[in-house]
Structure 1
């Protein structure tokens, strides 16, 4: 991978083989300084009505590779501000800072992060360890941001901790360690990427004398091993351990003294020969390789804030479950309505002979019209009908006035009507002009009683004898006044010859295949018959279109229900954003630690954005499970319900999408924090 634009060649960084050069030995006074400051000034304030204050007043300082320098001064003298500038945690307001000859002012944020990650190692007075991470993970963090694989960085971190006497404390959290142990963890963290320049800010300030002496011994040993050590202190005894003491007061260097450095006490825990550095790619790990670490961190934060996490998840869960159940109920109700309508044979377009404006009845419908209609796309069947109302039928001493419906064998399919006894009309009945009849349930009861046998019996239709071959199943009527069970169905041919004496059709029942194209099919029937008749002298009743309109209305209602349920997803997303904003505020110090150890802005953004997605992903998964279980419970008590795989996937995707959308702003806010202010927890 190419180096970050504007990034310098960093001495001590890994070479092509992935190993570190040993820290440079002290150079002669004529050697160019590794760290060179000229006229460095730092001002704070000057915005939003806050008066500007200058903390550093034209600092000139050279530090050569391998030196052991102590910067000493009272509290408020500016020494910590100077260390932040040297460690690239902050930028000077004026002046020139060069690291190994490279102007730091020209480096972008990623290049500065690379310096913090691969050159500088920080040892803070307050330790600055992430409280939710183990000692091992705290130490391995800079290597993670340097692109080192998890196993390699953990091996490196474990080796360092063991050499510092913490081999049995790898999985301990900072609160489970003493102050001296925490400081040794921070030293190991400073060294995990090589730590060419160690910046120690009051490293003994929070320790007892014994622990402080041990930490100073370790810093002495690091210097003896070739590391450049810059020590910030107000304690003259601590400063005396260095080779050179820089005195500061009121933001200025007021003195410099060279002292005889105390020899190292034999510690050699970080020489390149004893502990080779890991292979650093100088680029971040791919997201898939970093997910495990991010997830562990996120889950730890969730465990700490259980109640808040649960309440946030609740909004997502309710939203996802509501969308799934609402869509399933809506779809189930829609299918139920359609199924019930199909019982009425409402997949049908009825064509009637009509009256013309001048008061004459239109041209009769014919069998040729039926044949023409059958050829129209989307038409499954076209059944001719001759209706003769007011016909009296008799059996024995019982009679009943009803409607005769003369048709073909296709009528049962067109009307979705089956027989409960006997058989329906067939082709032979039509061709042979047989005198057979199929009775509706009302006619059957009127002529044969509730339990009398009808099939095989003879009846008189008008004055013509017909044999009963079947009884139609009971059928609900689409309209209360239309008793469809009160009719006698006979073959069209025999009715024309024996009953009505003419072939003029009363209507044509057109069964369509796809109800979604009912309107187009109606228009096609109109065109064909108008062309045949020369004018539109017929009327159409498109019940299929009515059914489709009802289905569309149900679909719209379902969509509205889904959108209403989706509102809770938005509310849950806002809750996620609120929680993430609170998390950024609460974890400001952690963000500062990550930046100090080399995290780029993109790394911080990735951390918090993935945490938001994880939060909503968990909520979405729980919502899907709860939604399905709730739906199954409703289905068990008889609620019509059909789950939609697409709807479920969309609901889950929307939940995760809210994590991305509402987590972006908090993640960006976290990434844009100033490292120094973040470390201070402000």
Structure 2
């Protein structure tokens, strides 16, 4: 043999099966497909390995092409032991050194002829324009210039085999492994394919032809016969592997230089952008071809995202309404009432002086004395029993309660003991109906008072209490001319910062206790109650979001299910990609991209559906507030769902055995 061998097999064995006995059953014996095969092939040879079906020749080809590993023995490529190569180095060898021509063509059905040819170059990181030009040139050379954009189903068997040869030559095709390349072709197409292989061999390519047909094998320069996993004859050995076993053209592969460039070749791949773009293109093609199934998968994501957006919007809208309703009764409020915790202790009293002391406590914005009494109002021949609140002019701010018509009384009214009154909405309706009460006089316990305003409607606060069934007068007037006492019913306190409500309540208690020398009063922290109600509403909103997120989880399970089905359906495609040089991470990226693309499209459609549903709810007067953060979060969760639930199927695809994947139906 001239020069060092490119491929050398030393006592190669390959066995399948061999399973231990289970539960007393019979152990499955192993089957030896190859039995101590040893041979050498030099660069530039045209070798035919011939044998009947089951003789082990296809297994031998898989070992040659690094698709399978021997059970025992040593395979040396350019003097290097393949057993020491990692997965990426083996993928690089398949991509750069070998080109496979299969009997069944093994073209990817969703890709065009040109795209099928380009696959090895994609995994080599060849720029888009360069690989497009190369694939067109190869297909034109193979007589398929008019079939560039045809898919495999639109090509004849001979044309598909030419596409397979073009793919094998895309990255140089230094070593062509042809497994029964004419087995599925008619005689004319078969002759054309063999003529192509002879032409490539003459050009210096190393061609290893696997066939059962001795006439086809006779086209090779060297014929090796294999029977029952053993080599029984080798014409190269008989001829001493002289000039007759080699072509006159120099070999296309310099083995030593090729191995020397391995480290650089393995490190050189396409950029992340290029890889991602190709993965997206292939993913979109597959999803579009199976668009009905894709749509069904999308529904789960769409419903999940839309549910999250709508539920959170309704929760936020409801929360705003609750807060607005509470704000109408004053949110940052504390109450001081007479009487201690001990019912047997002194009753205690509160005075306007106490209200003044409370005003001076830090974080207190206002402190209004309240004196409550029950009175009879009369207008014309109508009498109404109602509640009278005697308050200062600060009450409007403390209670967050303004007149709907007329004005609130002023500090001058308070100083002058003005006989003026503001009517609650229900009192006004009972006395005046729909008429404007401002300017009219009513009798309050037979004392004439001028109506200067009607208060805004508030509605019931709790239980039977109704703030609209009250009337308000200046504190000086009510205490002296109606109720007859200045002892307060309570003090209403407005605070600035809600987060300091507990501290402020304690300080008020300390100040009054120091003044009274006894704790004959109580401080009620309504602000804390409002805060608790707000936190409760927030919790309910979160619960609504979590309930809606269950829909998104169900959608994610749907994605995982469809991806598992896709891996099962496309197992052969995975094997083809691995045979053409795809690494495990390339396969992982491909299927993760598909899962993420499904989730991303579902997320976009889910956001659109959620906004449309929300718009319809708003049009129907349902409180809903959309949050950009909630929308972005729902979309991000959809993408994350695709990644999480797509990872297991993608990893399963990446870990498939190339030989097993290629053999799948």
TM-score computed with the length of structure 1 as normaliser: 0.86
CA contact 1:376–1:525 (8 Å) conserved in 2: no
Alignment of 1:349-428 (within 5 A): 349-355=334-340, 356-373=342-359, 375-377=361-363, 379-387=364-372, 389-392=373-376, 402-428=386-412
Give the structure 1 partner of residue 23 of structure 2: none
CA contact 1:220–1:264 (8 Å) conserved in 2: no
| In 2, Cα distance between equivalents of 1:32 and 1:207 | 36
CA contact 2:43–2:253 (8 Å) conserved in 1: no
Alignment of 1:236-635 (within 5 A): 236-258=214-236, 282-345=267-330, 347-355=332-340, 356-373=342-359, 375-377=361-363, 379-387=364-372, 389-392=373-376, 402-431=386-415, 434-444=418-428, 449-450=432-433, 454-457=437-440, 461=444, 466-479=449-462, 481-495=464-478, 503-513=486-496, 521-523=504-506, 525-635=508-618
1:93 aligns with 2:79: no
Shift of 1:290: 2.2
1:166 aligns with 2:149: no
Shift of 1:414: 2.1
CA deviation string 1:83-142 (max 9, x = no partner): 111111111111111111111110111110010011111111111111111111111111
| In 2, Cα distance between equivalents of 1:249 and 1:395 | 121
Shift of 1:54: 1.0
Shift of 1:357: 3.9
Shift of 1:177: 0.8
CA contact 1:148–1:285 (8 Å) conserved in 2: yes
Query: Comparing 323-332 with 455-464, which one deviates more in the overlay?
Result: 455-464
Query: Comparing 317-326 with 286-295, which one deviates more in the overlay?
Result: 286-295
Give the structure 1 partner of residue 56 of structure 2: 78
CA contact 2:45–2:245 (8 Å) conserved in 1: no
| In 2, Cα distance between equivalents of 1:564 and 1:189 | 51
| In 2, Cα distance between equivalents of 1:598 and 1:645 | 44
Question: Residue 51 of structure 1 aligns to a residue in which SS?
Answer: strand
Considering only aligned residues, what root-mean-square deviation do their CA atoms show, in Å?
Answer: 3.1
| In 1, Cα distance between equivalents of 2:584 and 2:514 | 74
CA deviation string 1:439-476 (max 9, x = no partner): 334554566x3366643455565576654332323332
| In 2, Cα distance between equivalents of 1:426 and 1:42 | 104
Query: Comparing 166-175 with 295-304, which one deviates more in the overlay?
Result: 295-304
CA contact 1:180–1:212 (8 Å) conserved in 2: yes
Cα 1:130–1:445 shift into 2, 3 Å: closer
Cα 1:140–1:542 shift into 2, 3 Å: same
Cα 1:137–1:505 shift into 2, 3 Å: same
CA contact 1:408–1:491 (8 Å) conserved in 2: yes
From 17, 21, 26, give the equivalent of 1:45.
17
| Structure 2: tracts of 5 or more residues without a match | 21-26, 255-263
Task: Give the aligned length.
Answer: 643
Cα 1:47–1:610 shift into 2, 3 Å: farther
Give the structure 1 partner of residue 4 of structure 2: 32
| Structure 1: tracts of 5 or more residues without a match | 1-28, 273-278
Question: Residue 485 of structure 1 aligns to a residue in which SS?
Answer: helix
| In 1, Cα distance between equivalents of 2:64 and 2:517 | 97
| In 2, Cα distance between equivalents of 1:149 and 1:525 | 77
| In 2, Cα distance between equivalents of 1:183 and 1:451 | 93
Give the structure 1 partner of residue 258 of structure 2: none
Shift of 1:208: 1.3
